[in-house]
Amino acid sequence: MPGMMDTILNLGLNETSLQGLIKQTGNERFAWDAYRRFIQLFAKIALNIPDEPFDEKMKEVKSAYHARQDVDLKADQLKELAEAFLAIVHRHSGKPFPQDPYEQLDIAIKAVFRSWNGKRAVDYRKQFKITSDQASGTAVNIVTMVFGNMGNDSGTGVGFTRNPGTGENLIYGEYLVNAQGEDVVAGIRTPKPIAEMAQEMPEIYDQLIQLHNRLESHYKEVQDFEFTIEKGVLYCLQTRNGKMNARGMVRSSVEMCNEGLITREQALLRTHPSMLEQLLVPQLAPNFKGNSLAQGLPASPGAASGHIVFDADTAEARGRAGEKIILVREETKPEDIHGFFQAQGILTSRGGKTSHAAVVARGMGKACVSGCEAIHIDDFARKATIGDMTLHEGDVITIDGGTGHVYAGEVPTVEPEVSEELTTLLTWADQAARLEVRANADTPADAVKARAFGAKGIGLCRTERMFNSTDRLPIVQEMILADTVEERQAALDRLLPIQRNDFKGIFKAMK
């Protein structure tokens, strides 16, 4: 359940231990940065204080000191911010921020247990049919902190041992220098691709390659891992099986089998049949020549068009009403999950390919463009601007999750082609199968597509559907509404060659 449970970092910091951290590290800026992060995280998760007052204070302090990002703030400015955060907690909770580390720990443990029944966690389990028999609660892990915000030789990141969108056997992910924990997935700053680490931190990059090999050799599965670099030392914080879209799952299954990591049977079993539906996601028509409004990061493939909405509740309501919508946010949060379920696609102005929006969209097979920094969103006014163009809620846009481009209006799409890896996997499935699959196909085009996906024949052909096209339906209506036998026969005479040709096309496809 990526992003569905809560995490609190830097627990145990208080007015006393903060001074010890400054003395131990000799880095006052780092210590105050860690403290202000802890205050906000603890307040949000354990005390149910919303992010908004903290975010507003952060913007206010950055503006006052002409700091573009949080990393540009100095130690005394972060101290000012932390003290303001403590005042926010007191104002909203009616109590001072807890200073006893054991009290902090007790409150935090209970908060993480409560998060199992939070709306986003419940919605996620419902969507993915995770029953109480499979998982009836959560554990709480208490671990030693390592800090990625100790300077330019520190950082944090999220990686996949293979590309979750394409399946390519290459470390895929993002990192931020001088950052901590949630910064990458929360979209606070737009992170760098891991490939850039080969030049910026070559020794750490080599260690990541070794980690990639160890993880896959041990788990026999693509891994989604989080890491921190503290003063030039790499730490792997956690790993779990990576969520991939169908294209990535199919390619990685075939290649991992060819590499000797898994057997053919394991390759077939790790690819759930329902995932193959994602391979039918539409792509932009190749002859489309429109100009892109903006380009973000290609976070989850497929093209999607819909009406812009700016919050998850509206997305859920309008989606349930049958409207096609695109959820547009500065950054998504785990509590937006109910909006994802109803959206055709997701567009964010911040965050990277491993942000919450990207990971969840890929798992659902929905198109997603993240980190589109050219779009400026005004939630209050329900509008977004790209250059001199203003988009209002309800306007139609198209996003291409394969390239990251955003277009005005609805763009024509086409079905994708069958990949070599999918053909290989379906061949292995045929060799292992004890049942033959026959398709529902009503037209020659359906029959051709069914054969391309390995169907052995047609199990159901609903001949009335041969006449659903706009040029044929009026003839059927003439036949039904005919006043005389002669008029009816004339209509039937026109329908006969049409249907005969369709059957010829179907039989040709099935030959």
3-state DSSP assignment of residue 393? coil
Residue, of 129 and 475, whose pLDDT is higher: 475
Name the pairing type of β-strands 325-329 and 345-348: parallel
Residue the block writes with tokens 């709306």: 119
Taking 70 as the threshold, does the pLDDT of residue 187 lie above it?
Answer: no
Average pLDDT score over residue span 54-72 = 92
Output the CATH code of domain 155-241.
Answer: 3.30.470.20
Strands of 242-324, DSSP E: 283-284, 294-295, 297-300, 303-309
Average pLDDT score over residue span 393-412 = 92
Burial group, residue 12, by CB count within 10 angstroms (0-12, 13-18, 19+): middle
Q: Are 310 and 416 in contact, with CB atoms under 8 Å apart? A: no
How far from chain centre, in Å, is Cα 16?
Answer: 40
* pTM passes above 0.85: no
Taking 90 as the threshold, does the pLDDT of residue 311 lie above it?
Answer: yes
Whether domain 283-414 has CATH 3.80.10.10: no
Query: What's the full length of the chain, in residues?
Result: 511
Q: What's the pLDDT score for residue 284?
A: 83
Q: Phi and psi of 200, rounded to 5°?
A: -80, -40
Q: What's the pLDDT score for residue 3?
A: 63
Least confident of 18-32, 219-233, 296-310, 405-419: 405-419
Q: What's the pLDDT score for residue 133?
A: 84
Residues in Cβ contact with 147 at an 8 Å cutoff, skipping those fewer than 6 apart: 30, 34, 154, 180, 228, 230
**Confidence class of residue 11 from pLDDT cuts 50, 70 and 90?**
very high
C-alpha closest to that of 293 among 199, 404, 178:
404
Q: What is the pLDDT of residues 20-42, one digit of tens each?
A: 999 999 999 999 999 999 999 99
Q: What's the pLDDT score for residue 247?
A: 84
> Which DSSP category does 275 fall into?
G
b/e sequence 71-99, b meaning 16+ C-beta within 10 Å: bebeeebbbbbbebbbebbeeeeeeebbe
**Confidence class of residue 186 from pLDDT cuts 50, 70 and 90?**
low
Q: Are 460 and 440 in contact, with CB atoms under 8 Å apart? A: yes
Element holding 449 (H helix, E strand): helix 444-452
Least confident of 8-12, 53-57, 168-172, 451-455: 451-455
Q: What's the pLDDT score for residue 1?
A: 60
Average pLDDT score over residue span 174-190 = 79
Q: What residue spans define the domains of the chain?
A: 15-127, 155-241, 283-414, 435-510
Q: CA distances (Å), 221 to each of 162, 212, 271, in order? A: 10, 11, 12
Q: What's the pLDDT score for residue 16?
A: 95
Average pLDDT, the chain: 90
b/e sequence 405-425, b meaning 16+ C-beta within 10 Å: bbbbeebebeebeebebbebb
Taking 90 as the threshold, does the pLDDT of residue 166 lie above it?
Answer: no
Q: In what order do the strands lie in the sheet with 192-193?
A: 192-193, 172-177, 155-160, 223-230, 233-241
C-alpha closest to that of 400 among 290, 255, 326, 302:
302
Q: How far apart are CA 491 and CA 474, in angstroms?
A: 10
Tell me which amino acid residue 196 is.
E
Element holding 230 (H helix, E strand): strand 223-230
Average pLDDT score over residue span 203-232 = 95
Tell me which amino acid residue 474 is.
P
Average pLDDT score over residue span 236-247 = 89
Taking 70 as the threshold, does the pLDDT of residue 468 lie above it?
Answer: yes
Q: CA distances (Å), 40 to each of 81, 106, 188, in order? A: 11, 17, 14
The per-residue DSSP string of 96-134 comes to PPP--HHHHHHHHHHHHHHHTTSHHHHHHHHHTT--TTT
Tell me which amino acid residue 189 is.
R
Q: How is residue 475 written in tokens?
A: 């003839």
C-alpha closest to that of 224 among 360, 348, 77, 422:
360
Q: What's the pLDDT score for residue 2?
A: 61
Q: Do domains 15-127 and 283-414 have the same CATH topology?
A: no
Residue, of 364 and 502, whose pLDDT is higher: 502
Taking 90 as the threshold, does the pLDDT of residue 497 lie above it?
Answer: yes
Least confident of 183-187, 344-348, 417-421: 183-187
Rg (CA), the chain: 27
b/e sequence 130-150, b meaning 16+ C-beta within 10 Å: eeeeeeeebeeeeeeebbbbb
The per-residue DSSP string of 146-184 comes to --S-SSTT-EEEEEESS-TTT--SS-EEEEEET--TTHH
Q: How is residue 104 written in tokens?
A: 């902090």
Q: How is residue 403 written in tokens?
A: 């390239």
Q: How is residue 477 written in tokens?
A: 């209506």
C-alpha closest to that of 198 among 217, 178, 221, 173:
173
Q: How far apart are CA 176 and CA 192, in angstroms?
A: 6
Average pLDDT score over residue span 153-179 = 92
Least confident of 2-11, 77-86, 278-287, 320-329: 278-287
The dihedral of CA 463, 464, 470, 471: what is its sign?
positive
Q: How far apart are CA 85 and CA 78, in angstroms?
A: 10
Q: What is the pLDDT of residues 337-379, one digit of tens each?
A: 888 889 999 999 988 877 777 778 877 778 999 999 999 999 8
Q: How is residue 272 written in tokens?
A: 């759930």
Average pLDDT score over residue span 54-64 = 94
Q: Are 479 and 488 in contact, with CB atoms under 8 Å apart? A: yes
Average pLDDT score over residue span 113-127 = 85
**Could you tell me which CATH class the domain 15-127 is placed in?**
mainly alpha
